[in-house]
Amino acid sequence: MDRRSFLKSATSTAVLAASGALTTKAVAQAAGAKTLRFVPQANLANFDPIWGTQYVVRNAAALVWDTLYGVDSKFVPQRQMVESETVSADGLTWTFKLRPGLKFHDGSPVTSKDVVQSLMRWQARDPMGLMIKAIQTELAPIDDSSWKWVLTEPYPKMLLALGKNNAPCTFIMPERIAKTDPFQQITEYIGSGPMKFVRNEWVPGAKAVFEKFADYIPRSEPPDWLSGGKTMLVDRIEWVIMPDAATAAAALQNGEVDWLETPLSDLVPVLKGNKDINVDIGDPLGNIGAFRMNHLHPPFNNPKVRQAVMTALNQEDYMRAIVGDDDKLWKALPSFFTPGTPLYTENGGEVLKKRNVAEAKKLLAESGYKGEPVICVVAQDMAATKAMGDVTSELLKSIGMKVDFVATDWGTVGARRAQKTAPGQGGWSMFHTWHAGADCVNPASYTAIRANGDKAWFGWPDVPDVESQVTAWFKAKNLDEEKAAMAKLNKAAMDNVVFAPTGFYLAYQAWRKNITGVKSGPLPFFWGVAKA
């Protein structure tokens, strides 16, 4: 029996298993209209949304910490914690003012000192933050509710930087917590968002719990992605960690959980056949699969080795491993950017349009590859990463590379990928992830496309040609100049293999029909969601 047939048949078995997996008390609590039980895409193994960039952490953080601005579904940043802002005529001095009544979960007021310290921690880890830091002369409070940011040159995309949805976001923390070294994890989880984190109920690998913050004051505007009024219609949200896809699907059918963020596509037909369940695309902007290589150490510090991998890569293999046989859920992607968006380009992407294993072997031989083992760190508790990892193992072997396959969990991948030590000394050679299409429409919020060495995302590519085109895009005066910069950027990133795109794919979400207010988007939006 193959994997897909096994999963489909396992669902009915898992229904019986799952029904006994939760206590009577837990089931009763789940049935309550004030408690929403949600199965996230992965385990919440750590909870510092600045230290790392895992989507699962960002998604939980959006409940607990608020941001200064929030992008809406048109990618326009709207005021969130901010009441007003002004910018000087020369574009060098920004002044911001907080809206009144903001409180942290410990009861203390949110002040400009908290904001300034949080921004300092954020900008040490964020590409746009680093760009601002390089041109700032002052970031300081004016009074308890206002602060100023003084620059040496204009930064027109300031509000996008403060409101973007890709991690790390400008989550505002109390000053004492924000003073934590940005390269060390925080140990206290106090925010000013609509939900409080119930730390004493947090069991990594099992559950995370959030409770409604009574003193949160939503904005008056309608909610739209991270903008507008974040009105909570449930009192408690329980994240139930279920790495087994069949068990999660069974729990949804039984009503033991209310909402699956990412049901396995193989099991979607079963869920669609249940009259009590809604199934729809989670995010119409989709995802870009990523084969991320470590540019610091052999073998992938050699551009020819990276090019060999790209030349042998067949995106269809990866996409079918993730989504199965539904051709509507994926497409080939000879690009780093989101298809169907205004700046999309395929310039330089010819290498991904036709697999050439013979040429890949030739490039590998020319590289001088010495048989170093490729440490493939692959999360098994994430369907997409597990599927991609299996394909990659065979790909590398097919061109003559030695593979050391490290099967682990997503939390461990998140911690290990931050290590710069050599692969044989606790480091890594490659890992798989994906980037939400909403993050990949342009370079502004696309952390993974940057190639600025030590300041780049995990893998630390150092490619001046890429960075020069990122700069050109930021300085573009019109759409034509932006498109020209994007075309050159895509080619430079392809030629130097910043990472290898494994294709574009869509994913489903599923929820019970007594749950209302579920929206599509790059992360689960819990505000406005109610349970009958």
Helix (H, G, I), strand (E, B) or coil at 442: coil
3-class SS shares of the chain: helix, strand, coil, % to 5: 35, 20, 45
Model confidence over 459-513: pLDDT tens digits? Answer: 999 999 999 999 999 999 899 999 999 999 999 999 999 999 999 999 999 999 9
Domain presence at residue 228: no
Whether residue 380 is found in the same domain as residue 278: no
Average pLDDT of 444-467? 96
Whether residue 498 is found in the same domain as residue 521: no
Whether residue 3 is found in the same domain as residue 57: no
Indicate the pTM of the whole model: 0.88
Domain presence at residue 95: yes
Measured CA to CA, the distance from residue 354 to residue 351 in angstroms comes to: 6
CB 367 within 8 A of CB 302: yes
**Is the model's pLDDT at 260 over the cut of 90?**
yes
Looking at the 3D structure of the chain, how many domains does it have? 3
Whether residue 333 is found in the same domain as residue 434: yes
Residue with tokens 């759409």: 479
Model confidence over 40-90: pLDDT tens digits? Answer: 999 999 999 999 999 999 999 999 999 999 999 999 999 999 999 999 999
**Is the model's pLDDT at 220 over the cut of 60?**
yes
Domain presence at residue 104: yes
Whether residue 22 is found in the same domain as residue 136: no
Whether residue 420 is found in the same domain as residue 304: yes
Q: What is the per-residue pLDDT for 32?
A: 59
| Cα torsion through 64, 73, 128, 433, rounded to 10 | 80
Provide the residue range defining the domain that includes 134.
41-203+212-222
Average pLDDT of 448-455? 96
Measured CA to CA, the distance from residue 281 to residue 313 in angstroms comes to: 27
Average pLDDT of 430-454? 95
Whether residue 342 is found in the same domain as residue 478: yes
Whether residue 256 is found in the same domain as residue 365: no
Q: What is the per-residue pLDDT for 24?
A: 47
Tokens found for residue 454:
């030590």
E runs forming strands in 46-176: 69-71, 77-79, 82-87, 93-98, 136-141, 146-151
Q: What is the per-residue pLDDT for 445?
A: 85
Comparing C-alpha atoms, which of 286, 224, 288, 229 is closest to residue 76?
224
pLDDT class for 295, splitting at 50, 70, 90?
very high
Domain presence at residue 230: no
Helix (H, G, I), strand (E, B) or coil at 505: strand
Tally of CB atoms within 10 A around 429: 27
| Cα torsion through 238, 244, 246, 250, rounded to 10 | -20
Measured CA to CA, the distance from residue 510 to residue 253 in angstroms comes to: 10
Ramachandran sector of residue 371 (left: φ over 0; alpha: ψ -120 to 50; beta: rest): left
Q: What is the CATH number of the domain that holds 401?
A: 3.10.105.10
Comparing C-alpha atoms, which of 523, 8, 513 is closest to residue 245?
8
Domain presence at residue 229: no
Model confidence over 82-113: pLDDT tens digits? Answer: 999 999 999 999 999 999 999 999 999 999 99
Whether residue 430 is found in the same domain as residue 416: yes
